[in-house]
Amino acid sequence: MILPILRYGHPVLRRKGARVDEITPAITELAANMLETMYAAAGIGLAAQQVGQPLQLTVIDVRGVKDRPSTLDLAGQSSDVAGLMPLVLINPAITPVGPPVAGPEGCLSFPEIYQDITRPESVEVAAINAKGEPLQFKAGGLLARVIQHEVDHLNGILFIDRMSAQAKEAMKPELEALRAATKAAREKE
Ligand code: ZN
């Protein structure tokens, strides 16, 4: 089932996600619906907050992006990124390991807003997957960027928080318009 994606200005986007203690049928269904929603929106990552659920759960699939490479190390071995996709991360903990690099980012909660964001090039990730199994790997490139963007969501942090002050100032009219539209839509509900 495709779920509505909340936009900037919705308060749930600022909520820190609760840990998922058990993979219940509801969690399994939520993860499946989030993947369906993400694909329908042509996104490469979606956090539970973006569909109104403040939980430590995110889904990712970078296979559709051909021009921005990703790397994956599993147990110290360079591995096929596609083999890990789609990726469901529950209760993820990340440790940045690479030097900071700038790269373009967008967000399904900020339609048509794109900006360069500086983030570490690689991250070590520990999480559990959709089956409740532990998952540990190191990601680089686009995959590392998406994971960091999504883990930020799980903590109520949005990519605009990581923009330079100058970039954010330049985007102020668009951001204010989006926030006002979200507020107006919520008042109609
Ligand atoms: Zn986002």
What domains are defined for the chain? Answer: 11-188 (3.90.45.10)
Classify residue 9 by its DSSP letter.
T
Residue-wise pLDDT for 134-170, tens only, equals 999 999 999 999 999 999 999 999 999 999 999 999 9
pLDDT at 189: 81
Ligand 1 center from residue 136 Cα (angstroms)? 23
**What six digits make up the tokens of 48?**
């539970």
| Position 14, amino acid | R
91 has a pLDDT exceeding 90: yes
pLDDT at 63: 97
Contacts of residue 147, defined as CB under 8 A and 6 or more positions apart, other chains included, come to 45, 60, 89, 92, 94, 123, 125, 139
Strands 57-60 and 70-74: unpaired
Ligand 1 center from residue 7 Cα (angstroms)? 10
Q: How far is CA 125 from the centre of its chain?
A: 14
Residue-wise pLDDT for 45-64, tens only, equals 999 999 999 999 999 999 99
Contacts of residue 47, defined as CB under 8 A and 6 or more positions apart, other chains included, come to 17, 57, 58, 150, 153, 154
98 has a pLDDT exceeding 90: no
Residues noted as catalytic: 150
- Computed over every residue of the chain, the mean pLDDT equals 97
Contacts of residue 53, defined as CB under 8 A and 6 or more positions apart, other chains included, come to 12, 17, 30
Run of H or E residues at 61: none
pLDDT at 133: 96
Cα–Cα distance, 35 to 60 (Å, whole number): 8
Ligand 1 center from residue 49 Cα (angstroms)? 10
